[in-house]
């Protein structure tokens, strides 16, 4: 082989070796980035669930993880800060009563879940009232004394009970 052919073969070998190392490095980078983002989101969700007194924080994590993503925090000028946080897309009801999708922090998402006991009350401590004869939860303790209610309060209480049925 001539010197040019040897040089061309060596160049091809080095190019192929470089491409292989580059591909391997890129795959490793993506793997570690994915692991970092997953563990960061899980940790934030578990911390918020514990803070908001979830019975089983892993249930909250299983519910919110598919809806979450890790994003870089921006400063007031819109420049990246180098810090990361987790954002969650949640479906809730807006002030006008219409359904709305919000992109909120994990803390706000878990707080929203806790404040929606009709959907998520079974996931948190002290949110749901007990069953027949029960006194648990945040509901009224003991039987309601209707003799102490005004006629307006009685009608409102009666309407509330009938609307649940």
Please state the φ and ψ torsions of residue 132, each to the nearest 5 degrees: -55, 125
Give the pLDDT confidence score for residue 126 in this predicted structure. 72
Residue 69 has pLDDT above 90, yes or no: yes
- For 107-162, what is each residue's pLDDT tens digit? 999 998 888 888 888 888 875 455 555 555 544 455 677 788 888 888 888 888 88
Residue 15 has pLDDT above 90, yes or no: yes
Residue 20 has pLDDT above 60, yes or no: yes
C-alpha closest to that of 113 among 42, 41, 53, 44: 53
- For 76-111, what is each residue's pLDDT tens digit? 998 999 899 999 998 888 788 888 888 899 999 999
Whole-prediction pTM: 0.64
C-alpha closest to that of 49 among 103, 112, 101: 112
3-state DSSP assignment of residue 3: helix
Angle at 30 between CA 24 and CA 34, to 5 degrees: 145
Beta bridge mates, 101? 91
Q: What is the C-alpha separation between 115 and 109, in angstroms, rounded?
A: 10
């Amino acid at each position: 082989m001539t010197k040019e052919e040897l040089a061309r073969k060596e160049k091809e070998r080095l190019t192929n070796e470089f491409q292989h190392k580059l591909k391997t490095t890129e795959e490793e980078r993506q793997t570690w980035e994915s692991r970092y983002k997953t563990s960061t989101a899980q940790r934030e969700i578990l911390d918020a669930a514990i803070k908001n007194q979830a019975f089983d924080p892993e249930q909250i994590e299983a519910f919110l993880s598919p809806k979450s993503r890790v994003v870089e925090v921006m400063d007031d000028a819109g420049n990246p800060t180098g810090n990361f946080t987790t954002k969650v897309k949640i479906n809730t009801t807006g002030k006008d009563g219409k359904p709305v999708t919000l992109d909120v922090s994990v803390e706000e998402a878990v707080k929203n879940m806790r404040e929606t006991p009709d959907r998520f009350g079974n996931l948190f401590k002290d949110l749901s009232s007990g069953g027949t004869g029960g006194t648990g939860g945040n509901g009224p303790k003991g039987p309601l004394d209707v003799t102490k209610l005004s006629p307006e309060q009685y009608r409102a209480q009666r309407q509330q009970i009938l609307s649940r049925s």
